[in-house]
Chain A
Amino acid sequence: MSYYRSLFKDETKLDINYIPYALPHRESELRLLKEFFSFALQSPEKMTQRVIITGDVGTGKTALSQRFGAEITHEAAKRSVNLYYVHVNCREYRGSLFLILQHAVSVFHPNFPKRGYSAEELLGMLMQMLDEEKAHIILTLDEFESLVENEGNEAVYKITRLPETRPDKPQRLSLICIMRELKVIERLDASTRSSLQSNIIGLQKYSKKQLVDILATRADLAFKPSAVPEDTLEMIAENAFSENGNARFGIELLWRAGKYANADEQYTVTAECVRKAVSSIVPAMRRSDLESLSLNEKLFLLGVARIFKQNKNASVTLAEAERTYAIVCEEFNTSPVSHTQLWKYLRGLTGSGILKAEVIATGTRGRSTIVSLPRIPASELEKELDNLLENEKT
């Protein structure tokens, strides 16, 4: 009888909805966001704020905003300030202002009827609820593009200019608008734009090193100690970096690689698990890509595949790959090509994304080329190449 042994300690820490306590490399942006909303803890009725967060996919916009929301509401509760943070993904509500407001209203009245009034009336009702509760709400409109695309200028105008429509009353509604690019708001008229554009937090794409830090933090939370070796994290970070510095992609890859490691009954999450995970997310290898390779390219690649199949490391030196290639050539009764020619093959294979090559300094002995197989599982690659080479023989 076998017992299920998992490398995970708590895989929910890799879930897309998990809000981490620490946001590596977004600390200053979090502080800035708190600074923008510091009034909400001191005199929430006296003013209102509008902030834009921009950044590419996976740069931490949603996580930053939700972490901020959790922290400010916690602080507000400690100070007995009636503050709500409501995060709405506009795309999930088809970019409809009516549905977005309905979600906000449901925070106060979960059974509020779903029909029978307009978005404008609903906004009035939300303000009435906030007045009655003496509450301030920070409404985050994630994927703001969707609201602009669907509703255009008028809906955005209604919510951004709300404070001006009730000048003598307490201020109740602040906004955080999350979007990938600022050009989304170019579609809005000048006055709406000006009311939005005053505070902008732009999130830059993560570097590879930053991605390693983020993945290491999550791996510590989600996996048992030593389950994810450093070079595996580096490999996942490399993949996430090539996906435009997308941390979310990296975290998903980490989870998936963990699943493959469990399924293969591994003691650690190996480089091969990452390759399997990548190939399950993106179609990394097309058979036709391999078919078009020359015989020696296929033999070289077969050698690399065999190394990685036996070896749990994420990369090997070109010298080692070359030695294995020579053995494969013997097996196929072919003379190996020169080192220079092999270099050209390597460049072609890296260009097509099958292999990855990196020149690194090796102390006093000069430089060395490191070869890795970032996306395709070695076992799968070997199988494909064996089939192709078998067909060529016959």
Chain B
Amino acid sequence: MELEDIFSSRLRMKTLKLLDKMHELNVSEIAHRLGVNYGVATKHLKVLEEEGIIQHKMFGRICLYRLNENSLKTKAIQNLIDVWEHANKQKTAAP
């Protein structure tokens, strides 16, 4: 998958920002926070997982998703989010 395939999807970027902030969440909670239904959330999560950017862990019936800390792509995305948000804060704080 190409970089633009990830970045062109608003929901995928929101999912990544959400997992970066919350560390890990189950599918229903991700869907709730994104304001989409379970199926839509699952579809995007699957794409991100296939790309190795996120991973899941099962506890009984509960499926928790988190960023894959071992992936270089994930590290690059986390870095981008950090820099972007820091720059936004500076812009807001500037007189």
Contact = CB atoms under 8 A, between A and B. Distances in A.
B29 A129 contact: no
Contact of B60 (A110, A111, A124): A124
B26 interface: yes
Contacts of B26: 111-113
B23 interface: yes
A85 B28 CA distance: 30
Contact of B64 (A112, A117, A124): A112
A383 interface: no
B49 to A, nearest CB: 18
B61 A109 contact: no
A111 B22 CA distance: 8
B4 to A, nearest CB: 30
Interface string B2-45: 00000000000000000000111110110000000000000000
A167 interface: no
Interface in A94-127: 109-113, 116-117, 121, 124-125
B29 A111 contact: yes
A111 B23 contact: yes
Contacts, number: 34
A112 B22 contact: no
Contacts of A124: 60
Interface string A335-348: 00000000000000
A150 interface: no
Nearest to B23: A111
B62 interface: yes
Interface residues of B, number: 12
Contacts of B84: none
Contacts of B64: 109, 111-112
A128 interface: yes
A117 B63 CA distance: 12
A110 B23 contact: yes
A111 B62 contact: no
Contact of B28 (A109, A113, A117, A121): A113
B59 A128 contact: yes
A117 B28 CA distance: 14
B23 A113 contact: no
A241 B17 CA distance: 57
Those 10 A-B pairs whose CB atoms lie nearest each other, nearest first: A125-B59, A113-B26, A121-B60, A125-B60, A111-B25, A111-B22, A111-B24, A128-B59, A113-B62, A117-B60
7 contacts: A111-B64, A112-B26, A112-B59, A121-B60, A121-B61, A124-B60, A125-B59
